[in-house]
Amino acid sequence: MERFPIGRFRFETGGDVLITALTCIPCLARQAAESAEMSTADGPARERLARLLLREIADADWRQTPVTISQRLQRLVRSEGGARDPYRELKMRMNTVALDLLPTLAAAAARQPDPREAAVRLAIAGNLLDAGSKNRLTPEELPAHVAKVWQLPLVGDVAALFRAAESARNILYLADNAGEIVFDRFLIEALPAGRVTVAVRGVPVLNDATLEDAELAGLTRLTKVISNGSDAPGTIFEQTSQDFQRLFLDADLIISKGQGNYETLSDSERPIFFLLTVKCAAIGVAVGAPVGALVVKEHRHIRRQQAGGGFTK
Protein backbone atom coordinates (compact mmCIF):
# COMPACT_ATOMS: atom_id res chain seq x y z
CA MET A 1 0.00 0.00 0.00
CA GLU A 2 1.30 3.44 -0.92
CA ARG A 3 0.37 6.76 0.64
CA PHE A 4 0.39 10.08 -1.13
CA PRO A 5 0.23 13.30 0.90
CA ILE A 6 -2.32 16.01 0.19
CA GLY A 7 -1.50 18.90 2.49
CA ARG A 8 -1.96 17.64 6.00
CA PHE A 9 -4.10 14.68 4.89
CA ARG A 10 -3.11 11.45 3.20
CA PHE A 11 -4.57 9.91 0.07
CA GLU A 12 -4.32 6.15 0.18
CA THR A 13 -4.54 3.45 -2.46
CA GLY A 14 -4.44 -0.31 -2.19
CA GLY A 15 -2.98 -1.52 -5.46
CA ASP A 16 -4.90 0.51 -8.04
CA VAL A 17 -8.13 0.51 -6.00
CA LEU A 18 -9.00 3.66 -4.09
CA ILE A 19 -9.54 2.94 -0.41
CA THR A 20 -11.02 4.97 2.41
CA ALA A 21 -8.77 7.76 3.70
CA LEU A 22 -9.24 9.92 6.76
CA THR A 23 -10.54 12.68 4.50
CA CYS A 24 -13.45 10.38 3.54
CA ILE A 25 -14.71 10.01 7.11
CA PRO A 26 -16.43 13.43 7.45
CA CYS A 27 -18.42 12.71 4.27
CA LEU A 28 -19.46 9.30 5.54
CA ALA A 29 -20.46 10.76 8.92
CA ARG A 30 -22.49 13.50 7.24
CA GLN A 31 -24.13 10.86 5.06
CA ALA A 32 -25.04 8.88 8.19
CA ALA A 33 -26.69 11.88 9.84
CA GLU A 34 -28.51 12.87 6.66
CA SER A 35 -29.76 9.33 6.01
CA ALA A 36 -31.06 9.02 9.57
CA GLU A 37 -32.88 12.32 9.23
CA MET A 38 -34.50 11.30 5.95
CA SER A 39 -35.49 7.86 7.22
CA THR A 40 -37.74 8.84 10.09
CA ALA A 41 -39.35 11.86 11.70
CA ASP A 42 -39.25 10.23 15.12
CA GLY A 43 -36.49 11.90 17.15
CA PRO A 44 -35.39 8.95 19.33
CA ALA A 45 -35.51 6.53 16.39
CA ARG A 46 -33.49 8.96 14.29
CA GLU A 47 -30.85 9.23 17.01
CA ARG A 48 -30.64 5.45 17.40
CA LEU A 49 -30.16 5.02 13.66
CA ALA A 50 -27.52 7.76 13.49
CA ARG A 51 -25.56 6.15 16.32
CA LEU A 52 -25.77 2.75 14.62
CA LEU A 53 -24.47 4.20 11.36
CA LEU A 54 -21.63 6.06 13.04
CA ARG A 55 -20.58 2.87 14.83
CA GLU A 56 -20.60 1.08 11.49
CA ILE A 57 -18.20 3.69 10.08
CA ALA A 58 -15.89 3.40 13.08
CA ASP A 59 -15.83 -0.41 12.94
CA ALA A 60 -15.50 -0.70 9.15
CA ASP A 61 -12.38 -1.90 7.40
CA TRP A 62 -11.06 1.34 5.92
CA ARG A 63 -9.00 -0.59 3.42
CA GLN A 64 -12.26 -0.92 1.50
CA THR A 65 -13.50 1.72 -0.91
CA PRO A 66 -15.76 4.49 0.45
CA VAL A 67 -18.45 3.05 -1.83
CA THR A 68 -18.35 -0.28 0.00
CA ILE A 69 -18.70 1.39 3.40
CA SER A 70 -21.51 3.60 2.09
CA GLN A 71 -23.27 0.52 0.71
CA ARG A 72 -23.24 -1.07 4.18
CA LEU A 73 -24.53 2.13 5.74
CA GLN A 74 -27.43 2.31 3.31
CA ARG A 75 -28.33 -1.34 3.87
CA LEU A 76 -28.63 -0.51 7.56
CA VAL A 77 -30.72 2.54 6.71
CA ARG A 78 -33.17 0.38 4.77
CA SER A 79 -33.31 -2.42 7.36
CA GLU A 80 -33.32 -0.32 10.53
CA GLY A 81 -34.86 2.94 9.35
CA GLY A 82 -37.92 1.38 7.80
CA ALA A 83 -37.88 3.32 4.51
CA ARG A 84 -37.02 1.43 1.32
CA ASP A 85 -36.04 4.64 -0.47
CA PRO A 86 -35.57 7.50 2.04
CA TYR A 87 -34.13 9.76 -0.68
CA ARG A 88 -37.07 9.36 -3.05
CA GLU A 89 -38.60 12.80 -2.39
CA LEU A 90 -35.21 14.46 -2.91
CA LYS A 91 -34.69 12.52 -6.14
CA MET A 92 -38.07 13.59 -7.47
CA ARG A 93 -37.21 17.23 -6.78
CA MET A 94 -33.87 16.81 -8.52
CA ASN A 95 -35.51 15.29 -11.59
CA THR A 96 -38.19 17.98 -11.72
CA VAL A 97 -35.75 20.88 -11.50
CA ALA A 98 -33.48 19.31 -14.11
CA LEU A 99 -36.38 18.69 -16.51
CA ASP A 100 -37.55 22.27 -16.10
CA LEU A 101 -34.06 23.45 -17.13
CA LEU A 102 -33.89 21.37 -20.31
CA PRO A 103 -35.27 23.96 -22.79
CA THR A 104 -33.01 26.72 -21.48
CA LEU A 105 -29.96 24.47 -21.51
CA ALA A 106 -30.68 23.19 -25.00
CA ALA A 107 -30.81 26.78 -26.26
CA ALA A 108 -27.57 27.65 -24.44
CA ALA A 109 -25.83 24.55 -25.80
CA ALA A 110 -26.82 25.49 -29.33
CA ARG A 111 -24.94 28.78 -28.93
CA GLN A 112 -21.66 27.10 -27.93
CA PRO A 113 -18.87 26.86 -30.52
CA ASP A 114 -18.34 23.12 -29.94
CA PRO A 115 -21.64 21.22 -29.62
CA ARG A 116 -19.90 18.02 -28.49
CA GLU A 117 -18.03 19.77 -25.69
CA ALA A 118 -21.30 21.47 -24.72
CA ALA A 119 -23.00 18.06 -24.41
CA VAL A 120 -20.15 16.74 -22.26
CA ARG A 121 -20.16 19.82 -20.01
CA LEU A 122 -23.90 19.50 -19.40
CA ALA A 123 -23.70 15.76 -18.74
CA ILE A 124 -21.00 16.35 -16.12
CA ALA A 125 -22.57 19.49 -14.64
CA GLY A 126 -25.29 17.58 -12.82
CA ASN A 127 -22.73 15.36 -11.09
CA LEU A 128 -22.78 17.67 -8.06
CA LEU A 129 -26.35 16.52 -7.42
CA ASP A 130 -24.85 13.86 -5.19
CA ALA A 131 -26.19 13.17 -1.71
CA GLY A 132 -23.05 11.18 -0.91
CA SER A 133 -20.72 14.11 -1.51
CA LYS A 134 -19.60 16.91 0.77
CA ASN A 135 -19.66 19.45 -2.07
CA ARG A 136 -23.15 18.61 -3.23
CA LEU A 137 -25.82 20.86 -4.69
CA THR A 138 -29.43 21.08 -3.63
CA PRO A 139 -32.01 21.03 -6.43
CA GLU A 140 -32.67 24.73 -5.80
CA GLU A 141 -28.99 25.57 -6.37
CA LEU A 142 -28.84 23.70 -9.67
CA PRO A 143 -29.96 26.51 -12.05
CA ALA A 144 -27.23 28.89 -10.85
CA HIS A 145 -24.61 26.14 -11.02
CA VAL A 146 -25.51 25.07 -14.54
CA ALA A 147 -25.44 28.67 -15.74
CA LYS A 148 -21.70 28.68 -14.91
CA VAL A 149 -20.92 25.39 -16.60
CA TRP A 150 -19.52 27.04 -19.73
CA GLN A 151 -16.77 28.75 -17.68
CA LEU A 152 -15.75 25.81 -15.46
CA PRO A 153 -12.37 24.21 -16.20
CA LEU A 154 -12.68 21.07 -18.33
CA VAL A 155 -9.80 18.62 -17.93
CA GLY A 156 -9.47 15.89 -20.52
CA ASP A 157 -9.88 15.13 -24.20
CA VAL A 158 -13.45 15.43 -25.46
CA ALA A 159 -12.38 14.63 -29.02
CA ALA A 160 -10.84 11.34 -27.88
CA LEU A 161 -14.12 10.38 -26.21
CA PHE A 162 -16.06 10.89 -29.42
CA ARG A 163 -13.44 9.13 -31.54
CA ALA A 164 -13.82 6.11 -29.25
CA ALA A 165 -17.59 6.36 -29.51
CA GLU A 166 -17.59 6.54 -33.29
CA SER A 167 -15.56 3.33 -33.57
CA ALA A 168 -17.50 1.47 -30.86
CA ARG A 169 -20.29 -0.91 -31.76
CA ASN A 170 -21.54 -1.29 -28.17
CA ILE A 171 -21.41 1.61 -25.71
CA LEU A 172 -22.31 1.08 -22.06
CA TYR A 173 -23.19 4.30 -20.23
CA LEU A 174 -23.04 4.05 -16.42
CA ALA A 175 -25.41 6.62 -14.97
CA ASP A 176 -24.96 8.16 -11.54
CA ASN A 177 -27.48 10.42 -9.80
CA ALA A 178 -31.12 11.40 -10.16
CA GLY A 179 -31.41 14.84 -11.73
CA GLU A 180 -27.99 14.36 -13.29
CA ILE A 181 -29.51 11.61 -15.42
CA VAL A 182 -31.69 14.24 -17.12
CA PHE A 183 -28.57 16.06 -18.32
CA ASP A 184 -27.12 12.78 -19.56
CA ARG A 185 -29.62 13.09 -22.40
CA PHE A 186 -27.46 15.76 -24.05
CA LEU A 187 -24.45 13.45 -24.30
CA ILE A 188 -26.41 10.30 -25.15
CA GLU A 189 -28.10 12.11 -28.03
CA ALA A 190 -24.65 13.16 -29.30
CA LEU A 191 -23.39 9.56 -29.33
CA PRO A 192 -23.94 7.18 -32.28
CA ALA A 193 -27.62 6.26 -32.38
CA GLY A 194 -28.60 2.70 -31.57
CA ARG A 195 -25.31 1.77 -29.89
CA VAL A 196 -25.86 3.00 -26.32
CA THR A 197 -27.18 1.08 -23.34
CA VAL A 198 -27.62 3.00 -20.08
CA ALA A 199 -27.18 1.20 -16.75
CA VAL A 200 -28.69 2.46 -13.50
CA ARG A 201 -28.63 1.14 -9.91
CA GLY A 202 -30.62 -2.00 -9.18
CA VAL A 203 -31.85 -0.84 -5.75
CA PRO A 204 -32.53 2.69 -4.43
CA VAL A 205 -29.36 3.87 -2.68
CA LEU A 206 -28.74 7.49 -1.68
CA ASN A 207 -29.96 9.66 -4.56
CA ASP A 208 -28.48 7.42 -7.26
CA ALA A 209 -30.61 6.94 -10.36
CA THR A 210 -32.80 3.86 -10.74
CA LEU A 211 -35.10 2.72 -13.55
CA GLU A 212 -37.82 5.00 -12.19
CA ASP A 213 -35.53 8.03 -12.53
CA ALA A 214 -34.43 6.99 -16.02
CA GLU A 215 -38.06 6.79 -17.10
CA LEU A 216 -38.86 10.20 -15.60
CA ALA A 217 -35.80 11.67 -17.32
CA GLY A 218 -37.02 10.38 -20.69
CA LEU A 219 -34.07 8.04 -21.21
CA THR A 220 -36.21 4.95 -21.71
CA ARG A 221 -37.75 6.64 -24.78
CA LEU A 222 -34.30 7.55 -26.07
CA THR A 223 -32.26 4.36 -25.65
CA LYS A 224 -32.11 0.99 -23.91
CA VAL A 225 -31.90 1.24 -20.11
CA ILE A 226 -31.07 -1.63 -17.75
CA SER A 227 -30.63 -2.17 -14.03
CA ASN A 228 -27.19 -3.27 -12.88
CA GLY A 229 -28.81 -5.41 -10.17
CA SER A 230 -26.73 -3.92 -7.36
CA ASP A 231 -27.38 -1.71 -4.32
CA ALA A 232 -23.86 -0.18 -4.27
CA PRO A 233 -23.52 3.59 -4.90
CA GLY A 234 -20.87 2.69 -7.47
CA THR A 235 -20.16 -0.32 -9.66
CA ILE A 236 -18.84 -3.32 -7.70
CA PHE A 237 -18.63 -5.69 -10.65
CA GLU A 238 -18.92 -8.99 -8.79
CA GLN A 239 -22.17 -7.81 -7.17
CA THR A 240 -23.88 -6.86 -10.42
CA SER A 241 -26.30 -8.99 -12.41
CA GLN A 242 -25.22 -11.46 -15.10
CA ASP A 243 -26.94 -9.35 -17.77
CA PHE A 244 -24.99 -6.28 -16.69
CA GLN A 245 -21.72 -8.21 -16.50
CA ARG A 246 -22.19 -9.53 -20.01
CA LEU A 247 -22.80 -6.02 -21.36
CA PHE A 248 -19.86 -4.64 -19.38
CA LEU A 249 -17.46 -7.25 -20.77
CA ASP A 250 -18.79 -6.97 -24.32
CA ALA A 251 -18.74 -3.16 -24.50
CA ASP A 252 -16.27 -1.51 -26.87
CA LEU A 253 -16.59 1.68 -24.82
CA ILE A 254 -17.78 2.34 -21.27
CA ILE A 255 -18.70 5.88 -20.22
CA SER A 256 -18.65 6.02 -16.44
CA LYS A 257 -20.31 8.92 -14.63
CA GLY A 258 -19.41 10.14 -11.15
CA GLN A 259 -16.94 9.56 -8.33
CA GLY A 260 -18.61 6.41 -7.00
CA ASN A 261 -18.18 4.64 -10.32
CA TYR A 262 -14.62 5.94 -10.57
CA GLU A 263 -13.74 4.69 -7.08
CA THR A 264 -14.96 1.18 -7.88
CA LEU A 265 -13.74 0.90 -11.49
CA SER A 266 -10.36 2.64 -11.41
CA ASP A 267 -8.64 -0.77 -11.43
CA SER A 268 -10.72 -2.18 -14.29
CA GLU A 269 -9.09 -3.41 -17.50
CA ARG A 270 -12.05 -2.31 -19.62
CA PRO A 271 -12.01 0.65 -22.09
CA ILE A 272 -13.50 3.36 -19.86
CA PHE A 273 -13.86 7.12 -20.03
CA PHE A 274 -14.57 8.57 -16.60
CA LEU A 275 -16.76 11.68 -16.56
CA LEU A 276 -17.13 13.44 -13.22
CA THR A 277 -16.98 16.65 -11.24
CA VAL A 278 -14.08 16.64 -8.78
CA LYS A 279 -15.62 16.94 -5.31
CA CYS A 280 -12.64 16.35 -3.04
CA ALA A 281 -8.86 16.71 -3.06
CA ALA A 282 -8.25 12.95 -2.97
CA ILE A 283 -10.11 12.36 -6.23
CA GLY A 284 -8.53 15.51 -7.64
CA VAL A 285 -5.08 14.03 -7.10
CA ALA A 286 -6.17 10.73 -8.64
CA VAL A 287 -7.47 12.29 -11.85
CA GLY A 288 -5.09 15.25 -12.01
CA ALA A 289 -7.62 18.05 -11.72
CA PRO A 290 -8.60 20.68 -9.12
CA VAL A 291 -11.70 20.45 -6.97
CA GLY A 292 -14.66 21.79 -8.94
CA ALA A 293 -13.26 20.87 -12.35
CA LEU A 294 -15.18 18.90 -14.96
CA VAL A 295 -13.19 15.81 -15.91
CA VAL A 296 -13.11 13.58 -19.00
CA LYS A 297 -10.44 10.96 -18.34
CA GLU A 298 -9.62 8.00 -20.54
CA HIS A 299 -8.81 5.04 -18.31
CA ARG A 300 -5.42 4.29 -19.85
CA HIS A 301 -4.34 7.88 -19.14
CA ILE A 302 -4.73 7.48 -15.38
CA ARG A 303 -1.34 6.37 -14.10
CA ARG A 304 0.11 6.54 -10.62
CA GLN A 305 3.40 8.36 -10.29
CA GLN A 306 6.15 6.29 -8.74
CA ALA A 307 7.57 9.25 -6.83
CA GLY A 308 6.58 12.73 -5.77
CA GLY A 309 2.98 11.89 -4.91
CA GLY A 310 -0.18 12.19 -6.92
CA PHE A 311 -1.23 10.77 -10.24
CA THR A 312 -0.43 11.88 -13.74
CA LYS A 313 -1.12 11.03 -17.35
pLDDT of residue 133: 53
The domain that contains 301 carries what CATH number? Answer: 3.40.50.10880
Residues 99 and 200 in one domain: yes
Helix ranges (H only) for the chain are: 25-39, 43-59, 66-81, 88-110, 115-125, 142-147, 158-167, 180-190, 211-216, 242-250, 259-265, 281-287
pLDDT of residue 304: 38
pLDDT of residue 7: 31
Note down the domain range covering 31: 2-81
Final residue belonging to a domain, choices 64, 81, 98: 81
Query: 3-state class of 40 per DSSP?
Result: coil
Element (H, E) at 11: strand 9-14
pLDDT of residue 82: 82
- Of 148, 209, 141, the closest CA to residue 175 belongs to 209
pLDDT of residue 183: 94
Residues 171 and 41 in one domain: no
pLDDT in tens, 260-273: 999 999 989 999 99
Residues 124 and 251 in one domain: yes
Residues 167 and 35 in one domain: no
Residues 149 and 281 in one domain: yes
Contact 207, 200 (CB under 8 A): no
Total structural domains within the chain: 2
Residues 298 and 226 in one domain: yes
Residue ranges of the chain whose pLDDT lies below 50 = 1-16, 302-313
Distance CA 128, CA 138 (A): 9
pLDDT in tens, 89-130: 999 999 998 999 999 999 999 999 999 999 999 999 877 665
Residues 204 and 139 in one domain: yes
pLDDT of residue 132: 56
Residues 141 and 251 in one domain: yes
Residues 104 and 56 in one domain: no
